[in-house]
Amino acid sequence: MSLQKKSSLLGTIGAIWGLAGVLLLLASAALRLGSMALDAFSYHFLWHHWTSLAVIVLGMAYVEGYKGFQKAFSPRTAARARYLRQNPRIVHVALAPFFCMGYFFATRRRQITSIALTSGIIVLIILIRFVAQPWRGIIDAGVVVGLTWGIVSLLVYSVQALLQDDYFCSPEVPDKE
**Residue numbers of the domain that contains 25:** 3-163
Q: Is residue 176 part of a domain?
A: no
Percent of the chain past pLDDT 90, that is, above it, reads: 94
Q: Is residue 175 part of a domain?
A: no
> Rounded CA gap, 60 and 45, in Å?
20
* CA angle, 123 then 126 then 132, to 5°: 135
Q: Is residue 90 part of a domain?
A: yes
Model confidence, pTM: 0.93
Q: What is the pLDDT of residue 116?
A: 96
Q: How many domains does the structure of the chain reveal?
A: 1
Average pLDDT score over the chain: 95
Task: Compute mean pLDDT per 10 residues along the chain, 177 residues long, and list them.
Answer: 77 98 97 95 96 98 97 98 97 98 96 95 94 96 97 98 95 84
Termini Cα distance of the chain: 27
Q: Is residue 168 part of a domain?
A: no
Q: Is residue 172 part of a domain?
A: no
User: H/E/C letters for each residue in 32-55?
Assistant: HHHHHHHHHCCCCCCHHHHHHHHH
Instruction: Indicate the helix (H) or strand (E) that contains 171.
Output: none
Tens-digit pLDDT profile for residues 95-121: 999 999 999 999 999 999 999 999 999
